[in-house]
Structure 1
Amino acid sequence: IVLDVTADAQVFAANGLSPDSVDVVLMNPPFNDPGRHRGSPDQARRTAHVATEETLHAWVHAARRILRSNGVLTLIWRADGIADVLAALSRGFGSLSILPVHGEAGRPAIRVLVRAVKGGRAPTQLLPGLMLNDESRVPKNETMEILEGRAALPLVER
């Protein structure tokens, strides 16, 4: 199914995604900051990579609409935009688990993975960070196991 995430509920329903109909949404919305990222001259590529002020809210709204009560949304975003993620999820979601993802040891997180439950009420958890590379910039064993499907991301199931 190919849909515009900003389409109305009738378009989603016509494509088998009616309100309150799915258990899990995995989301990788465009998240590059337009102030720091030069978008492609190709409009489709720019739309796929560079976020607008409305991007995150539109994507979360679409997920909230199709998720069942207690359904799970998992998304990735820039670590420096965590406040925007929390604001977008504040309407309708709770039981957040936040996994900071660090590109290099000893450096700030570059991304966050966030797991949220529609209607969830459990306290938010900030999980220990996932370090992609060691001090030598070599991918860590844990990272390789996840990428190869031999291990799961350490996001908490509630």
Structure 2
Amino acid sequence: MAELVDPAAQSLTEDGFLGGRLRLRQPAAGHRAGHDAILLAASTRVRAGDRVVEFGSGVGTAGLAVARRIDGADLVLVEIDPSLAAIAGDNARLNGLAAAVVCLDITGSAETFASAGLGPDSADAVLMNPPFHDAARHRGSPDPVRQVAHLATVTTLEAWVHAARRVLKSGGTLTMIWRADGLADVLSALGRGFGSVMVQPVHGNADKPAIRILVRATKGGRAPLVLVPGLLLNDPSGHPNPIARAVLAGEQILPLAQS
């Protein structure tokens, strides 16, 4: 068995998710796993035996949360940063979960994907949290790898959706989380090859606009778009909403994973 990464040597912390049922090591500095990844996992519809591919997995948070929920999922974690990919592999072993880890650029060619075992029409489900910060509004990190991970270009969303369409089987599902103000861009990117789109807005507070959208689309789907009731993270008093708290604790899934 491969030796786990030493948190002290790698400046990692070990943190609990899903009420402590998922333990993850992650860099102490920089972007860290949070609510977005767990909400994405709770929105991903998966059955035992499905091949599930997480694009841009980082340390594996969303994909491993799915694997913790669904016994027998065939999980593949895809990450461009070799150091994060290595930590993702360690996290899978730390939690006793089976996962293949592939170090790969999501914008790579079909041949590159196939050589990594991700050929066309090979996945039942893809989940992803693509870089979605607008480069025109956010100051990027001086580290080019971190910029790729967090800042979206005009082609980022199209490229990631294209890659998902390529690897998904007909009838397979793509689940993603994105900025709420980018809904039009998401629907445009899904316009080719996807249908049966479901959208759930996520609100930080009841009196504020949505901050995120959770989206599920089916390759080859033909059903009309469905907008499901929004998820409220905090109640009017500022305390965590009981439904959101249950989802983050891994006790409840969201509507996109149910139907």
TM range (shorter): over 0.9
Task: Confirm whether residue 59 of structure 1 aligns to residue 146 of structure 2.
Answer: no
| CA distance, structure 2, for counterparts of residue 153 and residue 112 of structure 1 | 12
Aligned to 2:240: 139
Task: Confirm whether residue 127 of structure 1 aligns to residue 228 of structure 2.
Answer: yes
Q: Deviations over 1:97-144 (max 9, x none)?
A: 000000111110011010000000011001111001111222111111
Aligned to 2:195: 94
Aligned pairs, number: 158
- Residue type at the aligned position of 1:56: L
- Residue type at the aligned position of 2:243: E
| CA distance, structure 1, for counterparts of residue 257 and residue 115 of structure 2 | 33
- Residue type at the aligned position of 2:124: D
Residue ranges of structure 1 left out of the alignment (5+ in a row) = none
- Secondary structure at 1:70's aligned position in 2? strand
- Secondary structure at 1:85's aligned position in 2? helix
Q: Deviations over 1:50-85 (max 9, x none)?
A: 100000000000000000000000001101010000
TM-score by length of structure 2 reads 0.60
Of residues 85-94 and 33-42 in structure 1, the stretch that sits farther from structure 2 once superposed is 33-42
Query: What's the C-alpha RMSD, in Å, of the aligned pairs?
Result: 1.0
- Secondary structure at 1:53's aligned position in 2? coil
TM-score by length of structure 1 reads 0.97
| CA distance, structure 2, for counterparts of residue 137 and residue 48 of structure 1 | 31
| CA distance, structure 2, for counterparts of residue 135 and residue 84 of structure 1 | 30
Task: Confirm whether residue 68 of structure 1 aligns to residue 169 of structure 2.
Answer: yes
Task: Confirm whether residue 45 of structure 1 aligns to residue 166 of structure 2.
Answer: no
Task: Confirm whether residue 9 of structure 1 aligns to residue 110 of structure 2.
Answer: yes
Q: Which has the larger radius of gyration?
A: 2
Structure 1 runs (4+) deviating above 2 angstroms are none
- Residue type at the aligned position of 2:240: P
| CA distance, structure 2, for counterparts of residue 134 and residue 42 of structure 1 | 37
Task: Confirm whether residue 24 of structure 1 aligns to residue 110 of structure 2.
Answer: no
> What's the % identity of the aligned pairs?
61
Q: Deviations over 1:33-53 (max 9, x none)?
A: 112211111111111011000
